[in-house]
Amino acid sequence: MDECEDKLQCQTTYSKLCSDKIKCGEKAAPHRSLLRAVGITDSELKKPFIGVVNSWNEIVPGHVNLDKISTAVKHGILSNGGVPFEFNTIGICDGLAMGHEGMKYSLCSRELIADSIECMVRAHCFDALVFIPNCDKIVPGMLMAAVRLDLPSIFVSGGPMLSLENNDGSYSDLNSVFEGVGALACGKISSDELKEIESLACPSCGSCSGMFTANSMNCLCEAIGIALPGNGTILAVYSERLRLAKTAGVKIMELLRLGITAKMIVNERSIKNALATDMALGCSTNTVLHLGAIANECGFDLDLKLVNSISEKTPTLCKLAPAGRHHMQDLQKAGGVYAVMKEISKLNLLDLSLMTVTANTIGENLKGVKNCDTRIICSVDKPHSKTGGLAVLFGNLAPNGGIVKKGAVDKSMLKFSGRARVFDSEDSAYDAIISGQIKGGDVVVIRYEGPIGGPGMREMLAPTSALAGASLDKDVALITDGRFSGATRGAAIGHVSPEAAKGGPIAYIIDGDIIEIDILQNALNVKISDDELLKRKSKTLLKQSKKLTGYLKRYVRMLS
């Protein structure tokens, strides 16, 4: 076949495709030979190649259904003229990794995910991408890759888990089990009652059912515009989720034809939209960590002071678990993420001109959207709070900031002063809480759990849940240079920076120091003089970093 004729046939619909490099012309004959080996026909060689990036595996509840999501996506691609090619990434379950060495690998898996996707896409010349994440670090890892690659891209998650009603009218989730362990330890429930909670809390596949990190990030994909409406809230077990996946497959072909790439959607303005929506929803503290990494891929720095600035203007409209009794199924019934965005758009808090994967703007997408239940999504006239669900605290204990899920803190703890109880690991702090050593008025300080000191910045869901299970979450605060699960509630302040391993002030706190927390004023301080702090620095040897091997060793070497 003549090379010019061959190239013309490869480009009958699209002016230029990345996949032309491995499909068109005589030089591509070896590539075509390999493509024929996987079953590609002559007619398929003339069509766009669409990468389907799937994080399916058999051990993570949020991911066991992603094979069905992927099948639906591929049907959508095929129906609209594309050729789908599925490949996989890793995916770690934070719940299964919680409370042991495995949690050190959770956050750092985000970079592995982004890098592995980059390698696969650049090597195989895909024209566009459909991303199928669900749980915590997979969503931001894929978002980082999407921005880095800047191809037409769309996200469709596996959906949240169902939450079932208990006999007393309450609803359970994974956090109920963690808190049950704390309740058992202090004699509030029996082993049989804990087993009942354990049996009911996670009744289906899907990401854990509260406004935890996974659901937070999947909802923010809608706010950014990189996912279709319903991405964050349609339950994993609903057939509507499969229809959404098919639609995403159809839509990626439209985005390719229109030339709408990831960076046209994910950028500084859309990340500000995400932050405003985050504040209204009451999302996980981890969203700030992830939005900062995504911003870095976009080429700008996310100033933590911007978080407070947006929070001051944005009311909290939702109190989903762990902040309240409602779960993702309730948010979906009330109108979903778009109903929340519709409310805050009344206060001019969103840039409505931004493009989305619907091929329409945010403003066009919000037309006709209604808030169907003001018990779930408050109106902006009667919010839960006039300010947002997250706050960044600064002070002599956190010069570079620490983050708290303000919307999940009891009002009595918004301003709190207490005695420091200092621990150099999550494990030692958890043991002290479970054994009854922590009392009302204490501030539990967990250090050397930061990105470098941990390493890996472990989540502290076990200690905070133990406090809640022991009914101490209204009497005890917890601060750490590690981080928290989105399921954490109470006066839990994480991401304290600089971390102890880098010589941050948290390294020099001693038992009995008075720590002052003022979430309303965004302040976190230890009541000692600058001279005393300098004296302690001169006499204190920082804890030596652990001997590391493998990926953690490389991760720490490159970490900021």
Q: In the predicted model, is pLDDT for residue 7 greater than 70?
A: no
Q: What is the pLDDT of residue 251?
A: 98
pLDDT band per the 50, 70, 90 thresholds, residue 558: confident
Q: In the predicted model, is pLDDT for residue 6 greater than 70?
A: no
The percent of residues in the chain predicted with pLDDT above 70, rounded, is 97
Contact in structure between 239 and 247 (CB atoms under 8 Å): no
- Tell me the one-letter amino acid at 303: D
Record the tokens describing residue 533, joined without a space.
Answer: 């702090």
Strand 514-518 and strand 523-526: pairing? antiparallel
Give me the mean pLDDT over the 347-355 stretch: 98
pLDDT band per the 50, 70, 90 thresholds, residue 299: very high
Residue 112's Cβ-count burial label (10 Å; 0-12, 13-18, 19+) is middle
Neighbour tally for 370: CB within 10 Å: 10
CA angle 463, 464, 467 (to 5 degrees): 90
Segment 473-527, tens digit of pLDDT: 999 999 999 999 888 899 999 999 999 999 999 999 999 999 999 999 999 999 9
Q: In the predicted model, is pLDDT for residue 408 greater than 80?
A: yes
Q: What is the pLDDT of residue 248?
A: 98
Segment 311-322, tens digit of pLDDT: 999 999 999 999
Segment 429-475, tens digit of pLDDT: 999 999 999 999 999 999 999 999 999 999 999 999 999 999 999 99
The domains spanning 48-163+203-366 and 391-558 adopt the same CATH topology: no
- Closest by CA position to 418, among listed 469, 493, 481, 482: 493
Q: In the predicted model, is pLDDT for residue 58 greater than 50?
A: yes
Q: What is the pLDDT of residue 306?
A: 97
The percent of residues in the chain predicted with pLDDT above 90, rounded, is 92
Phi, psi of 302 (to 5 degrees): -90, 105
Give me the mean pLDDT over the 187-205 stretch: 96
Q: How far apart are the first and last CA of the chain?
A: 53
Segment 153-165, tens digit of pLDDT: 999 999 999 999 9
From 169-178, 212-221, 530-539, 543-552, the region with the lowest mean pLDDT: 543-552
Q: Where are the domains of the chain?
A: 1-37, 48-163+203-366, 391-558
As a whole number of angstroms, the distance between CA 470 and CA 447 comes to 22
488 or 29, greater pLDDT: 29
Catalytic residues: 485
As a whole number of angstroms, the distance between CA 327 and CA 331 comes to 7
Q: In the predicted model, is pLDDT for residue 190 greater than 80?
A: yes
112 or 559, greater pLDDT: 112
Q: Which CATH number fits domain 48-163+203-366: 3.40.1350.10, 3.40.50.620, 3.40.50.2300, 3.40.50.720?
A: 3.40.50.2300
Contact in structure between 249 and 152 (CB atoms under 8 Å): no
User: Beta-strand (E) ranges in 415-549?
Assistant: 415-423, 442-446, 477-480, 492-497, 514-518, 523-526
Contact in structure between 426 and 102 (CB atoms under 8 Å): no
- Closest by CA position to 283, among listed 343, 216, 218: 216
Average pLDDT, the chain: 95
Phi, psi of 93 (to 5 degrees): -90, 115
Q: In the predicted model, is pLDDT for residue 42 greater than 80?
A: yes
pLDDT band per the 50, 70, 90 thresholds, residue 245: very high
Question: Tell me, what DSSP letter sits at residue 540?
Answer: P
Tell me yes or no: is domain 391-558 CATH 3.50.30.80: yes
Q: Which residues pair with 415 in a beta bridge?
A: 518
Q: What is the pLDDT of residue 547?
A: 86
As a whole number of angstroms, the distance between CA 484 and CA 391 comes to 14
Contact in structure between 188 and 306 (CB atoms under 8 Å): no
Give me the mean pLDDT over the 65-91 stretch: 98
Q: What is the pLDDT of residue 8?
A: 37
Segment 521-533, tens digit of pLDDT: 999 999 999 999 9
Q: What is the pLDDT of residue 11?
A: 46
User: Residue 310: in which H helix or E strand, if any?
Assistant: helix 304-313
Segment 110-152, tens digit of pLDDT: 999 999 999 999 999 999 999 999 999 999 999 999 999 999 9
